[in-house]
Amino acid sequence: MVEKDLALEDKAKVLRKHIVKMIGEAGSGHPGGSLSVIDIVTALYFEVMKVNPDDPKWPDRDRFILSKGHAAPALYAALAEKGFFPVEDLLGLRQVDSHLQGHPDLKKTPGVEVSTGSLGHGLAVANGMALAGKLDKSTYRVYVVLGDGELQEGSVWEAAMASAHYKLDNLVAILDYNGLQIDGPVEEVMDLGDVGLKWQAFGWHVISIDGHDFEQILNAFKEAETIKDRPTMIVAHTVKGKGVSFMEHGVEWHGTAPNEDQVKKALDELA
């Protein structure tokens, strides 16, 4: 493993600690999906994307949309560590008068591009941003993270058709494919079938990776930059609750906060 990957692994561990602490402090939140997507988010914010914490609305910035908005703690942890707001603010998650709502709010939190949480909307908004970039001849890229349960929303597939129709090669979607949603295993709630073939059929370039392997993650984003005349879908196979042993593969951790003892146990594992 190269030094860059090791640095990202260390950063991801820091972000995982933030996730556990802030959800534990709030007494509510979604640790499972936040922990499964954090390696993708870490790679984007600390290696791939062009952003400026001192100027969150910098016109040439790359755009990131967390369509699965319930994983907001992952986004907040990255934004804080990147310098968009003080790390100390993280413990205000879901508190009255805090700028860190349970789901991302563009009017309250520096660095948040889109208010998300109602599933199925993020890709359509990403299309608009990517198309605007094309029309303006801008060089920024648009990244959007989708949940696997979210793909059960029909609006996702309407947006997927539009992405391909308009040849949005400046758009990259990442599927956090952890196989679990709030009601149970995705394949039992509404089986997605062969996800990669579906996106290919909709005109996308598809890359399948281990969503916790930084070498694969970074290579996928590099490959996406070489693709012309079509958008890219990165199917990231992940583990719900990744990094905390008693949360991994546990559907009960979709929307359950750890208690004080569980927070301590998790932080000891991540030390």
pLDDT in tens, 161-203: 999 999 999 999 999 999 999 999 999 999 999 999 999 999 9
Section 206-214 average pLDDT: 98
SS3 label, residue 14: helix
Say yes or no to pLDDT of 27 above 80.
yes
Instruction: State phi, psi for 23 to the nearest 5 degrees.
Output: -70, -40
Section 218-239 average pLDDT: 98
SS3 label, residue 196: helix
The continuous run of DSSP H or E covering 217 comes out as helix 214-226
Instruction: Supply the pLDDT for residue 1.
Output: 59
Tell the residue number behind the tokens 């998790």, with chain if given: 266
β 180-181/184-185 pair status: antiparallel
HSE of 220, CA atoms in CB hemisphere, 13 A: 28
Say yes or no to pLDDT of 16 above 90.
yes
Section 46-52 average pLDDT: 98
pLDDT in tens, 106-148: 999 999 999 998 999 999 999 999 999 999 999 999 999 999 9
Say yes or no to pLDDT of 55 above 80.
yes
SS3 label, residue 254: coil
Burial of 217 (0-12, 13-18, 19+ CB in 10 A): buried
SS3 label, residue 87: helix
Section 36-51 average pLDDT: 98
Per residue in 9-46, is it b (16+ CB within 10 Å) or e — as a string? eebbebbbbbbbbbbbbbeebbbbbbbbbbbbbbbbbb
SS3 label, residue 83: coil
Instruction: Supply the pLDDT for residue 134.
Output: 97
Instruction: State phi, psi for 180 to the nearest 5 degrees.
Output: -130, 140
Band of the pLDDT at 206, cuts 50, 70, 90? very high
Mean pLDDT of the chain: 97
Q: Pick 159 or 1 by higher pLDDT.
A: 159
Instruction: Classify 266 in phi/psi space as left (phi over 0), alpha (psi -120 to 50) or beta.
Output: alpha
**What pTM was computed for the model?**
0.96
Section 39-54 average pLDDT: 98
CA dihedral 134, 71, 252, 19 (to 10 degrees): 140
pLDDT > 90 in the chain, percent:
97
Instruction: Supply the pLDDT for residue 119.
Output: 96
Instruction: Supply the pLDDT for residue 6.
Output: 80
Specify whether domain 3-270 bears CATH 3.40.50.970.
yes
Signed CA dihedral, 172, 176, 177, 183: sign only? negative
- Domain extents in the chain: 3-270
Per residue in 176-214, is it b (16+ CB within 10 Å) or e — as a string? bbbbbbeeeebeeeeebeebbebbeebebbbbbbebbbb
Instruction: Supply the pLDDT for residue 2.
Output: 66
Say yes or no to pLDDT of 102 above 90.
yes
